[in-house]
Chain A
Amino acid sequence: MKRVLNGFKNLIKGMTITSKHLGRHAVTVQYPEERDKIPERSRGIVVLLSDKETGELNCTACMLCMRSCPTAAIRIEAPRGEDKKRHLKSFVVDHTICCFCGLCEQACNFSAIKMANKYEFSTLDKNDLIWDMHKLQEMGRDVPYESKKKKAAEKDETREAGKPKTASGDGEKTEKKEDQPEVKSDNQENSPGEVK
């Protein structure tokens, strides 16, 4: 008898909580017609950013994003021109293997690559997800961004922090050469860990 009463008591208690939800209106977002607001920082597709005035790509082909990518989703081709500087020839992002970690954006010192808060890029063909330079630039045209103009002072700080604690002063140069053969050349300003 006691158990039956107890059961009833709890049934009423549970029903009270449930009935609180009865009068509320639905909160479902009817997706294709209406959309939730996506936060500014949300990491969606990878885009390349262009200079707001000239319309040229901000990318300087320093290859830092390519090297920071854990899944090797970024492929850059940038042969050296006659002026011994790298010129961007092709920049391909494979969205099929991208893991959307955002390390490329963090590595970039020139506000050239960004993970925009766009998320609708489904297609019927897998190959359509491999985007070349022009497509990436086109997608990045309307993406707002703040230009990261790296100051010299800030760079020095990075360089100090980047030094391994154990490496001795002499051994450091040779060790770093092994680490980053591609960047260590004429294009010194591009890589933060460089020793001049």
Chain B
Amino acid sequence: MSKLKTQEFMVNMGPHHPSTHGVCRLMLTLDGEKVVKIVPVIGYLHRAIEKICENRTYAQCIPLLDRFEYVTSMSCEYVFADAVEKLAAIEVPERAQYLRVIMLELNRIASHLIFFGTTVMDIGALTPFLYGLRERELIMDLFEMTCGQRLTYNYITIGGVSHDIPPEFIPKCREAVKIIREKLKDYEGLFNENPIWLARTKNIGVLSAETAVAYGVSGPILRASGIKYDIRKNEPYGIYDRFDFNIPTYTHGDAYDRYMVRLDEIRESLKIITQALDGLPEGDIRKKVNPFTFKPPAGEIYNRIENSRGEMGVYLVSDGTTKPTRLKLRGGSYNHLQVLPHVAVGGLVADLVAIFATFDIIMPEVDR
């Protein structure tokens, strides 16, 4: 009997694959179940945010930037507003600074809860997706109560924040912190030592520290690979130097570590929120800036913050008019998508899903 011939097979994963969280298309070359080659195809969500912003005043840019990375919109607003404030030397009132930190950290938790839900769903556990989104709902309610929207907030404005918190915010926020802290124990009980979960994530998609640095990987993925780097600590922006929190770091850089880093980060963020609520001062929430005639001085600035997905940066060039001359956005997901082939080639297709899910790539941030 003659031997059967085998050949490589090309298959598209996405752009409508449910586990690619958006419209990412991966062109896979497979040898049986083994992945031989991955080519990410991007651009399906390109909306030319950078170009549109050149035709908008600084205040009008903010609602657009909400759509840059819509899972953590607050950080997109913050990084831009902070850049403009640094350029124009605007001093933000103390209360606004605290409110910004509370919102940023709440948004980080919301993002990590989505990560938790979608990751475990991709790997096969369906119910925890609802658990993750249920707790996120508490945070969404807080946002809606404060600024009126659940996803694209337009809350952090140049010079402060747009609304003061309503009186019932603080008790509700403390309650949400308490509930999420309790529920985290449930999540950990369900997964951390679960043999199925360990089999699917332990030693899967190992990203070494050298490769991570070489590809410009940042955020939780970098910390899972063993590098203790967090812009909130290393280069504190805003008032982050006033809070006491740790940077969770793991050593292996596999899918399991990337998952653990994020769960630990939720706990650290809860710590920051509690401290910020305790220290919240009274006073103004905004330094009044006329949105129509506001002109920062001519100059350029690169401002970066620690987003839930990594380093988020804005490079802003101003020529002294009411509109930015050039706006360049940097999102962590772009680099993470580039390093994906490096990590996933040689593994199985099923592992690729686990790797992609724990990278927590969000496509609008890649395509902008």
Interface, chain A (partner B; CB < 8 A): 3, 6-7, 10, 13-14, 16-18, 20, 38-43, 64, 67-70, 99-103, 106-107, 115, 117, 157-159, 161-167, 176, 179-180, 191-193
Contact = CB atoms under 8 A, between A and B. Distances in A.
B23 interface: no
Contacts of A20: 186
B368 interface: no
Contacts of A18: 127, 190
A30 B88 CA distance: 50
B289 A162 contact: yes
Contact of B59 (A103, A161, A163): A103
B297 A17 contact: no
A157 B284 CA distance: 13
A17 B192 CA distance: 13
A3 B296 CA distance: 64
Interface residues of B, number: 44
B239 interface: no
Interface in B166-212: 166, 186, 189-190, 193-195
Interface in B271-299: 287-298
A103 B154 contact: yes
24 contacts: A3-B195, A6-B195, A17-B189, A41-B148, A99-B63, A100-B152, A101-B66, A102-B149, A102-B154, A103-B59, A107-B291, A115-B148, A158-B290, A161-B288, A161-B289, A161-B290, A162-B289, A162-B294, A164-B293, A164-B294, A164-B296, A165-B89, A166-B297, A191-B292
Contact of B193 (A10, A100, A166): A10
A117 B60 CA distance: 22
Of A41, A64, A101, A165, which is in contact with the most chain B CB atoms at under 10 Å from its CB? A101
A20 B186 CA distance: 10
Nearest to A161: B288
Contacts of A14: 189-190, 194
Interface stretch (B35-43, B139-147, B223-231): B139-147
Contact of A39 (B88, B145, B193): B145
Given A39-B145, A41-B147, A165 B297 contact: yes
A188 B56 CA distance: 24
B64 A70 contact: yes
B287 A161 contact: yes
A101 B60 CA distance: 9
Taking chain B's interface residues, is the majority helix, strand, or loop, or is none over half, making it mixed?
A: loop
Given A17-B190, A165-B297, A70 B63 contact: yes
In the A-B complex, the 8 residue pairs with the smallest Cβ-Cβ separation, listed nearest first, are A162-B290, A101-B63, A161-B288, A164-B295, A43-B148, A70-B60, A41-B148, A166-B297
Given A40-B166, A99-B63, A102-B148, 5 more contacts: A70-B56, A161-B287, A164-B295, A165-B89, A193-B292
B88 A165 contact: yes
Of B154, B162, B163, B320, which is in contact with the most chain A CB atoms at under 10 Å from its CB? B154
A40 B147 CA distance: 10
A162 B293 contact: yes
A162 B286 CA distance: 13
B288 A158 contact: yes
Contacts of B296: 164-165
B189 to A, nearest CB: 5
Nearest to A164: B295
A192 B294 CA distance: 12
A42 B148 CA distance: 4
Nearest to A36: B141
